[in-house]
Homo-oligomer: A and B are copies of this chain.
Amino acid sequence: MLELAILGLLIESPMHGYELRKQVNVVLGWSRLLSYGSLYLALKKMLKAGWIAEHVSAPEPGAVSRRQRIVYELTPAGTEQFRGLMADVGPSAWEDDNFDVRFAFFSRTDIGARLRILEGRRSRLQERLDRVQQQLERTQHQMDRQIDRYAMELQRHGVESVEREVRWLSDLINAERRDESSRDSAAPPAQTP
């Protein structure tokens, strides 16, 4: 997870730890800042694994005498590792946390993988929705214990959020498919009325 995030960020350009930490928010959209504990431990582990290499910052031409920082960059093995992780388009790729990271690095995958992941996630959410809906019916028929009004409101809001994400995914899927077919052939399938 964190590993994939770091690999993905470093593939775009080498960085030192402190900046990496900020990019996690900017690029991955994480709401809380990554802790140093996680970051430097992960970095250390990845160094040992040979996926990244460190070298002390060359004083950049633009900046005036910045403190020396440790810049990390991907090794070929790291690039390979990234590809390997991104190649997994199975269920784990559309899990809540994993999905976001995958999505953020979609530019690095082919359209087939993108579609499989987007569709996988959508059907996963759809299942979730069905389960809740079912359970909501049972509640309304008094087959279960009476549910509290706040708990109910929480449920309702949750369902709406998931429905929203499903629509978002559908839009993305359609966009990808349009891209795909417009690249594929000069004779697009009948689609617009």
Contacts and interface: CB of A to CB of B under 8 A. Distances in A.
A1 interface: no
Contacts of A28: 151, 154
Nearest to A106: B150
B100 A154 contact: yes
- Identical copies in the complex: 2
Contact of A144 (B26, B150, B168): B26
Nearest to A101: B154
Given A107-B149, A148-B107, A161-B164, A154 B29 contact: yes
Interface string A21-57: 0000111110100000000000000000000000000
Given A161-B164, A164-B164, A104 B154 contact: yes
A137 interface: no
Nearest to A100: B154
A154 B31 contact: no
Interface of A: 12-13, 25-29, 31, 96, 100, 103-107, 128, 132, 135, 139, 144-145, 147-151, 153-155, 157-158, 161, 164, 168, 172
13 contacts: A12-B145, A12-B148, A13-B145, A29-B155, A31-B96, A31-B128, A100-B154, A104-B151, A106-B150, A107-B148, A153-B172, A157-B168, A164-B164
